[in-house]
A and B are shown apart, each in its own frame.
Chain A
């Protein structure tokens, strides 16, 4: 009898607990899935200054490695610039310590960080990120506006 009671307490209760947790957790929300490779359409620059970052044409614009609300965004510029990003709701905010080493804008603003802001949008079943890359506090280069679609997930 003691063994049966022990089994119910030590095994039965935790199992019930897990069932309860699975039900409770079903209501939890998780950040949107932005991991993977993204191909972007870059809006033509309206200004005469060079873009803050030069993304290679005809190639995926950036890779996103996501861990929940945290993400690493790696651009396909020659320097493979990496931004540390965070998701707040559906908005992605990212920052690299400086402009790409091999970009033309760096000479004008060597200390300016590269920043990213983009909104995650689900267009039907297609995941999109629409946003901008710019150099914080630097007027010598033009922000890069883009609209990106995911071409492959990171699974």
Chain B
């Protein structure tokens, strides 16, 4: 029975977490914010209040005995990953300004937390907790910054390599390490008072533990890293060794009286920071931790958080004071220190806003505090609310202070020569790169023309955070085949890589920033939609300020015979322009098939076309065909040996951008030749 309940709980928790994460991502918030809120909502604050019977069935009191340990394993793995992502180089040689800013970003909120403790201790604590333990915990809790969430926000905004990003990451790393050390001290103090372990034993034992980790465990892990290099990949045995080490390290610190999660964190932080080894290890563990185990932790936290415990004006005032002290201390202290040490007001404010995010790290912190009894359930609830509020406000505040669009425009710079024909090629699949390059190069063959290859990384799917991987475009794995093909052909391609929360919007913005004349996109079949001109392509086609062309390669042979079906629209003119660019190269025959519906009157000359226009190119043939079935006509013509069909979007031909994309584009599916579908800018 307990297994049945556990499986049901897991299904409900994971579903709720994913849905909430999706909703919050659409609001521009980190995924983890949604998951935290989901846990909160599953607890007595919403589900327990609105549907107590359902809540009682889903989370009967005894069931937490199964859910609790699973969630703690999740926290241990998460803390291991936090340690893994923490690069010790961030803590060294950061310059005096960074030291002042990082220490001030701890000291000021710490002071406010301790000050608040004077007010809260007589009201929300009891004699089983000494004031110094309580005040130290409150101070440390106010000083915490969610390093993982902050780093992710910086990456998503493409700020990691900026001065602001480097300073913020360093400050957050120092803050976190300091806060955890203080928490370890508080845990040791409290547990020694409770008679778990004598304080002297904990202190001496911790020192021995740290020395053992540095001088015994770390060299052993370096040998593991060397073995990783000799094998070229992370084997299951290597992963097992790391997990065993994790379990033993956590056991050691728990036994010493300073909590298991320190052991997990310390092991992660002492692992050699070879990016390949760390990256692969993190990737193996990240998804199961973040997708499966952490939502369980959020749910358990939510079950312990009851808004009903915060009742009466006095308690809500205390809650407001906690939030105020947290924001003033962290935002104010960090921003002021950053400003006084040389950052401009905008950057300093952005740093303060980022440092104010507390996220999951705060929840872990508070859970430890509740477990050891240094904070009461009502105070735990208030502090959880503080964590949610401060994390929620980070993204909108940073966007307001330091808009992402401005950052990207600054990063992209001003185009050198606006007269050159510029093609922007967004690449999603590595295998599509070379063919897209072939098309781009034939459209922009001159040395004066410019080709940009763009890779946008969806922010939500990123596992390990390696700044180098995210902002070295030339090393982007997705662009590698395209760049290799460009090098072989001697084509100059400029790579661009950014993280993105909205792929379609960001493609359009980059195209505008680079003054692209043409956006050349590929297409790969999605799971749910049938049509080509939907999804991201629809978003881009309907909002771009440049021409957009979608390339569907059907073969890899040279384009010797190119067909342009022409019905007279502006999109057809755009298609013709591009086809003429391709035909300007040698040995390309271009045929314009003017399709008209049969009328009694003599057919008019093709609008926008005249023989004089085409006189300079003997390789262009114009033919007129009368047809009631333009799709049939074009398909029939395309089957007669054409290599490429360049065609404007057209409702008449069943090629129209649609949002949901459920219509079947017959022409696209039956045409045997490769296709280039063109949407002219500014035309509906």
Contacts and interface: CB of A to CB of B under 8 A. Distances in A.
Interface of A: 3, 6-7, 10-11, 14-15, 17-18, 21-22, 24-26, 28-35, 65-70, 72, 84, 153-155
25 contacts: A3-B100, A6-B340, A6-B341, A7-B104, A10-B108, A14-B108, A14-B111, A18-B111, A21-B111, A21-B115, A21-B117, A21-B135, A22-B136, A25-B114, A25-B117, A25-B135, A29-B127, A32-B126, A33-B128, A35-B128, A68-B376, A70-B378, A153-B373, A155-B128, A155-B373
A72 B306 CA distance: 12
Contacts of B125: 30-31, 68
A67 B108 contact: no
Given A10-B104, A28-B121, A18 B114 contact: yes
A145 B664 CA distance: 80
A25 B132 contact: yes
B126 A35 contact: yes
B286 to A, nearest CB: 34
Interface in B182-217: 194
In this complex, which of B97, B139, B378 has the most chain A Cβ atoms within 10 angstroms of its Cβ? Answer: B378
Contacts of B124: 67-70
B372 interface: yes
Contact of B107 (A14, A66, A67): A14
Given A7-B100, A15-B107, A26 B131 contact: yes
A68 B108 contact: no
Contact of A30 (B129, B136, B372): B129
Nearest to B112: A14
- What's the interface size class on B, roughly? 35 or more
A11 B131 CA distance: 22
B133 to A, nearest CB: 10
B309 A67 contact: yes
A6 B336 CA distance: 11
A132 to B, nearest CB: 23
Given A6-B340, A66-B126, A28 B378 contact: no
Interface in B82-116: 96-97, 99-100, 103-104, 107-108, 110-111, 114-115
Nearest to B120: A68
A31 B120 CA distance: 11
B100 A6 contact: yes
- A-B residue pairs, 7 tightest by C-beta: A67-B378, A67-B376, A68-B124, A155-B373, A14-B107, A10-B104, A14-B111
B333 interface: yes
* Dominant SS among interface residues on chain B: helix
* Dominant SS among interface residues on chain A: mixed
B32 to A, nearest CB: 27
Interface in B472-520: none
A25 B311 CA distance: 26
A10 B104 CA distance: 5
B377 A24 contact: no
A155 to B, nearest CB: 4
Nearest to A86: B312
A70 B312 CA distance: 11
Contacts of B103: 7, 10-11
Interface in B561-603: none
Contact of A22 (B132, B309, B341): B132
Nearest to A35: B126
A10 B341 CA distance: 11
Nearest to B340: A6
Interface in B291-328: 309, 311, 315
Interface in B125-157: 125-129, 131-132, 134-136, 139
Contacts of B128: 33, 35, 153, 155
A19 B122 CA distance: 19
A84 B114 CA distance: 29
B120 to A, nearest CB: 8
Contacts of A25: 114, 117-118, 121, 131-132, 134-135
Contacts of A21: 111, 114-115, 117-118, 135
Contacts of A15: 107, 111
A11 B100 contact: yes
Contacts of A31: 122, 125-127
A30 B111 contact: no
B562 to A, nearest CB: 67
B161 interface: no
B67 interface: no
B123 interface: yes
Contacts of B100: 3, 6-7, 10-11
Given A10-B104, A68-B378, A155 B117 contact: no
Given A31-B122, A33-B126, 7 more contacts: A10-B104, A17-B111, A22-B114, A25-B132, A28-B121, A31-B127, A34-B126
B131 A3 contact: no
B118 A28 contact: yes
Contact of A11 (B107, B136, B372, B379): B107
A123 to B, nearest CB: 16
B453 interface: no
B81 to A, nearest CB: 29
B653 interface: no
Nearest to A7: B100
A155 B139 CA distance: 21
